[in-house]
Every structure is written in structure tokens, then in C-alpha cells.
């Protein structure tokens, strides 16, 4: 009886915590998948993985560090599901971007940014995502296992790549941001 | 657009509207099941550990049975020790895979663990597991012979050939059985380590190759079964 009450409490706490941070998880899903179906699959997989490891999370690290670690590790391995189902996804199967004329400038900018991040290597994608989520270099280092120096160097390289990618797509930040 | 602040400002505009789910949906999602990621390797591990457990128990019994029996006693002790070493290795590997499944390590540590497990430790375990079946058969034979009074290898050449053949056969079965998982993991690791995504394109060809070898294996297994049934029938009549 007591165990069942504890289990229910644990589940309720977990659900409430996830409900609060679901935006982070949705953003991770959108950076590591290409279609809505894949995104749904990954969302489900991350939730289950978080729930599976939640009882072993005992506050040795911050909740957000644990959350990012599990979610990103699951996202990196989720690639296996796609490899199995469809190793060489054709361009037709990738979710088409909405036409720029139907979007506001900032929406268009976000789409281009998301698209450019998706083109990065998997670990770079994780590093820039964490930085965009305003994580400190120390937190990024804890989540990825890179040293703070390596995080800093990698970010310089990634920002440069993003700048070039956005410029090649005709995006200039001044038009939309600020 | 190179300024980090601009990128962060842009990123903040990324909304999750339309994708937001309520607490009830999150709770109901937890009732779903998903496949364990490393099921094939774990399956081979559990079977191997079971076989080693049986081997160890028989070897311990045999060391008492052949007490004072000279060389065969030392062979039984050696085999029991080998079974213990293999079992400990298998349990450590299983624990490592469990850690991998929890996915709560930092990204690079997990990648290192993946590399350690799938580039080295699984390969070593496959050899151990392939050796464990001949070990168990030998332990069973020794136990039966002990019941009959003495241990004797009637045809040493044939005995050695069968042991080697069973080792090779089991190793091949294991490699073929694990191939889809191990090759996917290795491709994934190559992509994560070197940003090399080109190997993914080779996956369909690899799968076709795997299906071919799997079919060959099935034919060999069925032929062996039919041959064994035929031999049994001849002996019975």
C-alpha cells in the first residue's frame, strides 16, 4: 500500500517536472529529427528513457543536467531507428519548410536557424543547442563531457559555420532580429 | 548574424506551440513500452551466462568425482576456473550495457563506453561464449563417463575436430546474429566521432549481405538437423 502510494507520488512528481520543461524536449526533438512522425517517436522515446532512469536520479547532478544528458543521449541513439527504417532518406521525405511569404520574418529566421543547426555534426548540434538554451560553458561541459576550453573552441567554430550557412540562405539577422 | 546574442534571441522565438502536451498525456505516454536498445547482445549474454553456470556446476561436481584421478582432475579444475573467469567477464559486460541503457552519463563518456563495449569487449565475449558450449559439452561427457567409472576419449582426433567445429560454428552464429546491431552501432559511432555519415549509405548493402549469410546459416542448421535425424534413424533400425 505504502509502495503503491510512493510510486504514484514519484510518477506525479515526474510528470509535473516534465510538464514544466517540455519545451526543451520539443526543441531537442525538432533538432534531431526530420519528419513529424520521427519527432513524435523521439519525444516518446525520450519520455520513456527519462522515466526509466528517474528513480536512479538522486540529485548527484542538477535536474536540468540529468534531463539534457538523457534526452541528448537518446536523441543521438535515435538515429539508429532511422538508420534501420530508412538509411538514405530522400529529400521528398523531409518535412518541407513553410513558404517564407507565409511566415513572419522571425519565423523564417527560426526555421533557417533550425535547418542550419540540423546540418551540423551531431555533437556540435548538442553543444550549440545547450548554448542557445543559455547554459554556461561549465554546464555544457558537464552535460557533454568536453572540457570548458573545448566547449569554447567548438562554439567559435560552430557559430562561424552557422553564420556562413545562414548567409548562404540569404538570411541577414538585421532584417529580423533586434 | 555571428553574434551569439543574436542567435540566442532568434532561438527564443522558436515556440513549441501546437506541440505542447498536458500532464495527462505525459502520464499516459509512460504506460507505453519501447524495445531495449541492446537486446540481441544481452540475449546472447544471458544465454552464455546460463551455459557457464551449468558448466561450472558440472565441473565442481566432476572435481569431486575425479578426486585423485590424475590429469583429468586438473582439467576439471582448470575448466571450473575458466568458467568462473568467463562468468565474471560476462557479468561485468552486462553491467556495462545496463549503464549504457540508462543513458544518464555525459555524451562523451557514453560514447567512450559504447566504443569500449562494441569495439573490444563484445568481441572478446563472443570468443568466450563460443568456447563455453564445447566446455559445457565436455563437462557433461566427463560427468557421464564418471558415472560409468572412468573417463576415456575413444577417438581423440574426432573429439578435437568436433570441439573446434562447434567453437567455430557457435562463433559464426553469434557474429551473424549480432551483426545488424553491432554494425549499426559502429556506423553510429563513426558518425559521432568523425562526423562521418557516409557509411550510413552502405547499410542497405550490409543488410542484404547479412540476409544472405543468415539464409546460409539456416540451410546449414536445417541440414545438420536432418542429418542427425537420419543417423539416429539408421542407428535405431
Cα of B104 to nearest chain A Cα, Å: 5
What number of H helices and E strands is found in chain B? 8, 0
- B34 contacts in chain A (CB < 8 Å): 44-45, 48
Taking residues B38-51, report their average pLDDT.
89
Taking residues B68-76, report their average pLDDT.
83
Maximum C-alpha span of chain A: 62
- Give how far the C-alpha of residue B126 lies from the chain's centroid of Cα atoms, to the nearest Å: 6
Closest CA to B111 of B201, B188, B197: B188
Rounded distance between C-alpha atoms, residue B152 and residue B141, angstroms: 10
Q: What are phi and psi of B34, to 5 degrees?
A: -135, 150
Q: Given this model, what pLDDT does residue B36 score?
A: 66
Rounded distance between C-alpha atoms, residue B161 and residue A150, angstroms: 55
Q: What is the percentage of chain B residues whose pLDDT exceeds 70? A: 91
CB contact under 8 A, A80 and B188: yes
Chosen for mutation from B22, B24, B30, B118 (greatest number of chain A CBs closer than 10 Å) is B30
Print the SS3 string covering chain A.
CHHHHHHHHHHHHHHHHHHHHHHHHHHHHHHHCCCHHHHHHHHHHHHHHHHHHHHHCCCCCCHHHHHHHHHHHHHHHHHHHHHHHCCCCCHHHCCCCCCHHHCCHHHHHHHHHHHHHHCCCHHHHHHHHHHHCCCCHHHHHHHHCCCHHHHHHHHHHHHHHHHHHHHHCCCCHHHCCC
What is the CB neighbour count within 10 angstroms for residue B125? 23
Rounded distance between C-alpha atoms, residue B191 and residue B199, angstroms: 8
Rounded distance between C-alpha atoms, residue B70 and residue B145, angstroms: 15
Q: Given this model, what pLDDT does residue A175 score?
A: 42
Q: Is the pLDDT of residue B35 over 70?
A: no
State the sign of the Cα–Cα–Cα–Cα dihedral B60, B62, B65, B66.
negative
Q: List own/partner pairs for B92-101 with CB under 8 A and 24 or more apart.
A: B93/B45, B93/B117, B93/B121, B93/B122, B93/B125, B94/B42, B94/B45, B94/B46, B94/B49, B96/B121, B97/B38, B97/B41, B97/B42, B97/B45, B100/B37, B100/B38, B101/B36, B101/B37, B101/B38
Q: Is the pLDDT of residue B76 over 50?
A: yes
User: Are residues A64 and A21 in contact, defined by beta-carbon separation less than 8 angstroms?
Assistant: yes
In order of B36, B93, B170, B207, the CA distances from B39 in angstroms are 6, 13, 19, 18
CB contact under 8 A, B103 and A49: yes
User: Are residues B210 and B165 in contact, defined by beta-carbon separation less than 8 angstroms?
Assistant: no
- B185 contacts in chain A (CB < 8 Å): 80
User: Are residues B103 and A77 in contact, defined by beta-carbon separation less than 8 angstroms?
Assistant: yes
Cell 547482445, residue located: B41
pLDDT in tens, chain A (178 residues): 667 888 888 888 888 888 888 888 888 988 888 888 888 889 888 998 898 888 877 667 788 899 999 999 999 888 777 666 665 555 455 555 555 566 666 677 788 888 889 888 888 999 999 999 889 999 999 999 999 999 999 999 999 988 888 888 777 654 433 2
The residues in B 5-44 lying below 8 A from A, measured between CB atoms, are 6-11, 13-14, 16, 19-23, 26-27, 29-30, 32-34, 37
- Average pLDDT over chain B reads 83
Grid coordinates given for A109? 529566421
Cα of B105 to nearest chain A Cα, Å: 6
pLDDT tens-digit series, residues B168-227? 988 988 888 888 888 888 888 877 777 666 666 777 788 888 888 888 888 988 898 898
Chain A within 8 Å of B91 (Cβ-Cβ)? no
> Which ipTM value was assigned to this complex?
0.77
Q: Given this model, what pLDDT does residue A100 score?
A: 58
Q: What is the DSSP string of B66-91?
A: TTT-THHHHHHHHHHHHHHHHHHHHH
Taking residues B83-107, report their average pLDDT.
92
State the sign of the Cα–Cα–Cα–Cα dihedral A142, A148, A150, A151.
positive
Q: Given this model, what pLDDT does residue A126 score?
A: 92
Q: Given this model, what pLDDT does residue A102 score?
A: 61
Rounded distance between C-alpha atoms, residue B47 and residue B215, angstroms: 23
Grid coordinates given for A106? 522571425
Q: Given this model, what pLDDT does residue B94 score?
A: 94
Rounded distance between C-alpha atoms, residue B6 and residue B61, angstroms: 74
Amino acid at each position: 500500500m505504502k509502495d503503491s502510494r510512493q510510486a504514484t507520488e514519484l510518477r506525479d512528481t515526474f510528470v509535473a517536472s516534465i510538464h514544466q520543461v517540455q519545451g526543451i524536449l520539443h526543441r531537442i526533438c525538432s533538432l534531431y529529427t526530420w519528419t513529424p512522425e520521427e519527432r513524435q517517436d523521439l519525444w516518446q522515446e525520450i519520455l520513456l528513457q527519462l522515466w526509466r532512469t528517474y528513480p536512479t536520479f538522486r540529485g548527484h547532478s542538477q535536474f536540468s543536467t540529468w534531463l539534457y544528458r538523457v534526452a541528448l543521449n537518446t536523441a543521438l541513439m535515435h538515429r539508429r531507428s532511422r538508420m534501420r527504417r530508412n538509411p538514405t532518406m530522400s529529400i521528398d521525405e523531409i518535412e518541407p519548410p513553410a513558404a517564407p511569404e507565409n511566415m513572419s520574418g522571425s519565423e523564417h529566421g527560426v526555421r533557417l536557424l533550425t535547418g542550419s543547426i540540423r546540418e551540423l555534426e551531431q555533437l556540435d548540434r548538442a553543444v550549440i543547442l545547450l548554448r542557445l538554451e543559455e547554459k554556461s560553458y561549465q554546464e555544457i561541459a558537464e552535460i557533454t563531457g568536453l572540457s570548458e576550453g573545448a566547449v569554447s573552441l567548438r562554439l567559435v567554430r560552430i557559430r562561424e559555420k552557422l553564420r556562413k550557412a545562414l548567409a548562404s540562405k540569404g538570411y541577414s539577422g538585421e532584417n529580423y532580429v533586434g | 548574424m555571428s553574434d551569439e546574442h543574436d542567435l540566442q534571441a532568434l532561438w527564443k522565438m522558436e515556440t513549441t506551440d501546437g506541440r505542447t502536451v498536458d500532464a495527462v498525456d505525459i502520464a499516459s505516454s509512460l504506460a507505453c513500452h519501447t524495445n531495449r536498445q541492446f537486446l540481441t547482445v544481452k540475449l546472447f549474454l544471458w544465454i552464455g551466462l546460463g551455459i557457464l553456470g551449468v558448466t561450472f556446476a558440472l565441473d565442481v561436481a566432476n572435481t569431486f568425482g575425479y578426486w585423485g584421478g590424475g590429469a583429468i582432475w586438473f582439467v576439471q579444475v582448470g575448466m571450473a576456473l575458466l568458467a568462473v573467469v568467463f562468468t565474471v567477464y560476462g557479468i561485468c559486460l552486462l553491467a556495462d550495457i545496463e549503464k549504457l541503457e540508462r543513458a544518464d552519463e555525459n555524451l562523451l563518456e557514453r560514447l567512450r563506453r559504447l566504443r569500449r563495449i562494441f569495439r573490444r569487449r563484445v568481441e572478446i565475449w563472443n570468443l568466450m561464449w563460443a568456447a563455453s558450449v564445447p566446455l559445457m559439452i565436455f563437462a557433461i561427457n566427463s560427468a557421464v563417463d564418471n558415472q560409468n567409472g572412468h573417463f576415456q576419449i575413444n577417438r581423440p582426433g574426432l573429439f578435437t575436430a568436433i570441439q573446434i567445429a562447434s567453437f567455430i560454428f557457435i562463433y559464426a552464429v553469434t557474429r551473424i546474429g549480432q551483426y545488424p546491431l553491432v554494425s549499426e552501432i559502429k556506423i553510429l559511432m563513426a558518425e559521432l566521432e568523425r562526423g562521418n555519415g557516409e557509411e550510413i549509405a552502405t547499410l542497405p548493402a550490409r543488410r542484404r549481405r547479412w540476409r544472405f549469410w543468415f539464409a546460409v546459416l539456416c540451410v546449414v542448421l536445417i541440414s545438420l538437423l536432418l542429418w542427425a535425424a537420419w543417423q539416429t534413424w539408421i542407428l535405431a533400425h
